[in-house]
Structure 1
């Protein structure tokens, strides 16, 4: 250990004697390490933000329609049972169907898309809230009242403003005219409304109208209200989508007396958080790889400067070998010097990368966040030292293989 300590002292002395050259040699390592640390930290921050903001707010259970008959579809009573049994885990249970028609006002005729749904749809955590009036209730549904809720964009398209609660709409569905009374208006982003209008005008079309109404209203155009092939449960904060779906399926199996038939299951949905997380991991890894190329460039710089050092210290090598220094001692001396050169560059690079990451996180530059990764720091530290050793092997072996006579001849 004492001899190894001497090698470290000699290496530090040689680096100190050539400060400018040593710093320029380390620059490639510094840039590479700081770039990799910064990129991985920002990538981790973005992934964490995606995972946190994309927490599931709802889960859907569905019926296997190929195996089930109409009596085994999800009924209103089924949804009430799920809501009662899972009241501490869900905010609402909704079933919905759709229909299409048209609506005419003094501003023209519009295509109308109807969502035939249940009262808890007013609690949808994903859609914009109702900002005028109120959502229809269970009495409206039980009485098949022709009432509806429209969005802000539809209100403006039909009447030119949002103050439309209490107004009536004549909607034609299957050649039958049904007069709906507007009970409420959902909010909608003004920029989105403008963008949608602009897009429709480009194709010479008018904005379609979106209407939410009790599913029982289908009686008005001669269609008996049907049961549902799926039901959506709105989750309370912190609830597991998989766990709630499993419990909901158990409630449905019990009510429909299904024994191992697996008629009800969680609807397969695209897991956006996992998908985006995987994409961000891939992008981060690729950019980090590109940034890591500078580490190889820095390693070549280390090898180049060490070769120069071997040439400059030919006399020293010759004297040491003539006095009995072992080949392994010469190798260790030069490897120690190249490893320290890369190691110091790596430490500086880590500090700079961490500083940039903390700066990005603190200032929220471009809305970005950053999270330092211990594994990334350890990996880059090991890699920087590895670069020094790897690219120091050739110069060290060249120095160790020198004949003392030939080396002393060059004095």
Structure 2
């Protein structure tokens, strides 16, 4: 009976002998672990999504972005990154290459016109807009066929057509587009949604209202130093240096800070959810005390055959750990399923990511509960002497 395999076998038989009681005992552990895993998976998903957005915005190790802030945002748009500015950036020591990176997240600046009116707009590239507030919108087939169609915001419709825009034609950069829907955007006012391939084909000259200069260098180089040197050189000799300021923002540091905030929130909420594990541990201790009381004869027989106190203690301790591990594994699976379900129901807003650390945490916490809350009953069982049991 001293071998670990035999101890585990006896423990499983004991757990199966009282299935209903042990299942109810495990429910607390299952709920606690599932809650912790769900929260950590969603927290990791948010963190990965944020890191991806920062990377897309220039937070990667081998690249940095230089922004331009004009003194007067209402002034006529000036191109702050000319070919001469790009050549200046390439002259800075450590820079391998420089190029324009245009962020069209908030639209490409342009003007929309009819025969009599004109309006400032932001052109947003979309693969499809199938459910606008008014009209039919356009589909992915329109995108593939590079159809000259567009949906416009209500503000543009009111300004150009007094609201009656469906079926009318607007002109952008000399090209006509049929209005097939009115669809507003949460972040931008005067928007015009046009199929992505159509924009690339018919409106290749549209520029972002906030272009950035992307500089590339070896990952071993000091990113911050090189980027600041480029910004300083452009502020001295750049084509738009007298009308605004070139500056570098360390997005990598911001990404780390945001990651720390996400981790802090995730661990705090997970810790609150994990309070139920303490209650579950009390339940495990109670069940183990009952098991010790019910198996007094077994303890007596083992004592008669020469089992020592540590053998008895180890037997009951292993039973407690196995009971908690089973609950922990079920909770882990349940937590992953819940996180995946939330992910599936809200694919555009919430992403889940189960990490190896979460799995190790679930197994580790379950084992810890089994050891901590099973040790006292196991110790109680080990102190039972054969003479005391016979009396």
Partner of 2:8: 8
Moved more, 3-12 or 338-347: 3-12
- Aligned with 2:321 (options 320, 339, 349): 339
8 A Cα contact 1:315 1:408, kept in partner: no
Partner of 1:161: 159
- Aligned with 2:213 (options 214, 234, 237): 234
Q: Distance in 2 between matches of 1:253 and 1:194?
A: 36
Matched, 1:392 2:374: yes
Cα deviation digits, residues 175-219 of structure 1 (max 9, x gap): xxxxxxxx99xxx95556789xxxxxxxxxxxxxxxxxxxxxxxx
Q: Distance in 2 between matches of 1:44 and 1:237?
A: 29
Partner of 1:56: 57
When normalised by structure 2's length, the TM-score is 0.61
8 A Cα contact 2:288 2:374, kept in partner: yes
Matches within 5 A, 1:173-252: 233-235=212-214, 243=223, 246=226, 249=229
CA separation of 1:390 and 1:252: change in aligned 2, threshold 3 A: closer
Q: Distance in 1 between matches of 2:65 and 2:29?
A: 49
Matched, 1:299 2:307: no
Q: Distance in 2 between matches of 1:280 and 1:254?
A: 36
Where 2:30 maps in the other structure, the secondary structure is helix
CA separation of 1:53 and 1:10: change in aligned 2, threshold 3 A: same
Q: Distance in 2 between matches of 1:130 and 1:380?
A: 51
Where 1:371 maps in the other structure, the secondary structure is coil
Partner of 1:89: 98
Matched, 1:129 2:135: no
Partner of 1:371: 353
When normalised by structure 1's length, the TM-score is 0.58
- 1:285 positional shift: 0.5
Partner of 2:40: 40
CA separation of 1:162 and 1:318: change in aligned 2, threshold 3 A: same
Kindly name which structure, 1 or 2, has the bigger radius of gyration based on alpha carbons.
1
- 1:151 positional shift: 5.3
| Count of residues paired in the alignment | 294
The runs of 5 or more residues in structure 1 that have no matched partner are 63-73, 93-122, 135-147, 164-182, 196-230, 258-263
Cα deviation digits, residues 147-195 of structure 1 (max 9, x gap): x99557xxx99996259xxxxxxxxxxxxxxxxxxx99xxx95556789
Q: CA RMSD in A?
A: 4.6
- 1:380 positional shift: 1.5
CA separation of 1:279 and 1:383: change in aligned 2, threshold 3 A: same
Partner of 1:79: 85
Partner of 2:389: 407
Cα deviation digits, residues 72-98 of structure 1 (max 9, x gap): xx9989736436768953217xxxxxx
CA separation of 1:244 and 1:88: change in aligned 2, threshold 3 A: farther
Matched, 1:353 2:332: no
CA separation of 1:274 and 1:251: change in aligned 2, threshold 3 A: closer
Moved more, 303-312 or 362-371: 362-371
Partner of 2:25: 25
Cα deviation digits, residues 264-298 of structure 1 (max 9, x gap): 99545675533332222111111111111122211
Q: Distance in 2 between matches of 1:253 and 1:37?
A: 50
Q: Distance in 2 between matches of 1:238 and 1:125?
A: 24
Cα deviation digits, residues 42-62 of structure 1 (max 9, x gap): 111111111112332573379
The runs of 5 or more residues in structure 2 that have no matched partner are 59-63, 69-79, 123-153, 162-172, 175-182, 191-209, 238-244
Q: Distance in 1 between matches of 2:215 and 2:235?
A: 24
- 1:124 positional shift: 5.7
